[in-house]
Structure 1
Amino acid sequence: MNVFSIPKSDFKKITNIFNREIGRFVFFVFLLFFDSIYFAENVTNSQILINILMVAGFFKMYFRSNPRTKELMIYAVILGFIGEYFFSRGLHMYTYRLENVPLYVPLGHAALYGRIFMFTKSSVVRKYDKSIVQFFAVCISILAITSLIFFNDVFGFVMTICIFLLLWKKPKDRLFFFSMYILVVILEIGGTAFGCWEWPDTAFGVFKFLPSNNPPIGISLLYFLLDIGCFLIYTQRHKIAWNRLKNIQRNQA
């Protein structure tokens, strides 16, 4: 099914949902300018302001979300803090401008997770799941190939291939992860362009045989760990409901 075959009325609904759920997060990317190197050197260090704005935005989204999304967002914040300190401060896989972990980052992970979750669970989006996934897959392929050819981003290209392979036999998960891939690309390009954080020119600064762009295009592969962690915690806390859902899906198969 081709995305351009979607009826105009439904396509408009999907676009509106995308703008509402994803567009607001993209707007935050532009706010990263206030944590940029340029702003810090020419105006003032305003990372605190960004943190305050993200806290306000996070709680606004949190209180407008359904109970399941709220719970997942809390898990995402907790795992985001742990992951950021482990990967950035512990392993030095990437570095923030002030060599810290800004408060807006783990909160941003949770907001990103929540926005994508709400977008992909919309009824009209799920109705055209295959068409949207097909379109996103083409966009991702173009992004990865372009980054490889023009920026020698071998690391990002390899991670993108890994993403496709991991989702090869998981069609129900593709919409969520492909949506995350695209949103992470926008976030990472904005953050690195402003100098809020920086990736080394090889994979994590360790694997010299994997040249990397700043940012590596397929870095959403690491973000997937956040989703898997949130999902595992949620299913363990709601074992009865989760087992019931699996039985329903098994009977429908």
Structure 2
Amino acid sequence: MSVLASKSSIYTTFKTLGLLYLFFIVGLFLDSFYMVRVTEHAQFYANALMLFVFFITFFKVPKRVKKQMINAVLIGFFGEYLFSVLLGMYTYRLENVPHYIPFGHAFVYIAVLYFSKAASIKVRKKQIETFLIVAIIIYTLLFLLLKNDVFGFVMTTITLFILRNRSKERLFYLTMYASVVVLELVGTYYKCWFWPTSAWNIVPFLPSANPPSGISLFYFLLDLGTLWLYKQRHRDAWQRMKDIRKIRLAAKN
């Protein structure tokens, strides 16, 4: 059964976000402090599993999605070395950028994309968006009050402000926020990476939790960059899609 065409929101959620979150738990465990006690090659196993799952997914998706996955990996490499290595925004266990991270960005992007585009989810779009907004506000307020996570609160506020007038992309980005929350909670619990006590460890008036609640703001940059690259490489196809969308809207009116 196609995920996009499925009429069951439960099936769709499991096949996209459910498997994604399960992969977070299993995949990051291989690079966790638990595995370090067993083997010094923990990160190698995590890298191998990520590459295996990435290429299985890559060969199953359409050509257009393949290109988006490649773009996401390339931007992921650039973003990770910029924010982690050069700017010191966060630090990985071995103070490197594990190979599974940039490929994982693409995996997250595709899972969230398929979830938000599925027919069974679109019919419940408003309800899901409302649920996610309420959950995000509660989550970031708890982190602010219990962990003094000012940095995360500021990023969450910026995220919700940006999304208030982006109705077409809102479900995708809210789902991305939730997915990044799960990813960061699992990764920091396993001690695969950690965040300093303030933003970039140099902005004292922006104390941060480990992880900060609103870090998905930077994942939005990855998503926007992936989309921008796709538009630049396929301008004619993108224009045709926009023209078709205009015709459909005109027909409805």
Tell me if 1:27 matches 2:22. Answer: yes
Q: Within 5 Å, which residues of 2 pair with 1:112-127?
A: 112-127=108-123
Tell me if 1:173 matches 2:183. Answer: no
Tell me if 1:62 matches 2:51. Answer: no
Q: How many residues align?
A: 243
Q: Within 5 Å, which residues of 2 pair with 1:177-192?
A: 177-192=173-188
Q: Could you state the TM-score of these two structures normalised by the residue count of structure 2?
A: 0.92
Question: Contact 1:160–1:218 (CA<8 Å) still a contact in 2?
Answer: yes
**Structure 1 vs Structure 2 CA RMSD:** 1.7
- Tell me: CA distance 1:12–1:151, structure 2 relative to 1, closer, same or farther (3 Å): farther
Residue 225 of structure 1: aligned partner = 221
Residue 84 of structure 1: aligned partner = 80
Q: Distance in 2 between matches of 1:141 and 1:18?
A: 22
Tell me if 1:153 matches 2:149. Answer: yes
- Tell me: CA distance 1:138–1:12, structure 2 relative to 1, closer, same or farther (3 Å): farther
Question: Contact 2:12–2:120 (CA<8 Å) still a contact in 1?
Answer: no
Greater Cα offset, 57-66 or 213-222: 57-66
Q: Distance in 2 between matches of 1:250 and 1:64?
A: 30
Q: Which runs of 5+ in 1 are unaligned?
A: 1-10
Question: Contact 1:94–1:200 (CA<8 Å) still a contact in 2?
Answer: yes
Cα shift at 1:249: 3.5
Tell me if 1:212 matches 2:208. Answer: yes
**Offset from partner CA, 1:122-181 (integer Å, 9 cap, x none):** 112122211211111111111111111111111101100100111111111110000000
SS at match of 2:187: helix
Cα shift at 1:12: 8.0
- The amino acid that maps onto 1:16 is Y
- The amino acid that maps onto 1:22 is L
Q: Distance in 2 between matches of 1:14 and 1:139?
A: 19
- The amino acid that maps onto 1:55 is L
Cα shift at 1:213: 0.3
Identity over aligned residues, as a percent? Answer: 45
Cα shift at 1:195: 0.6
Residue 239 of structure 2: aligned partner = 243
Q: Could you state the TM-score of these two structures normalised by the residue count of structure 1?
A: 0.92
Q: Which runs of 5+ in 2 are unaligned?
A: 1-5
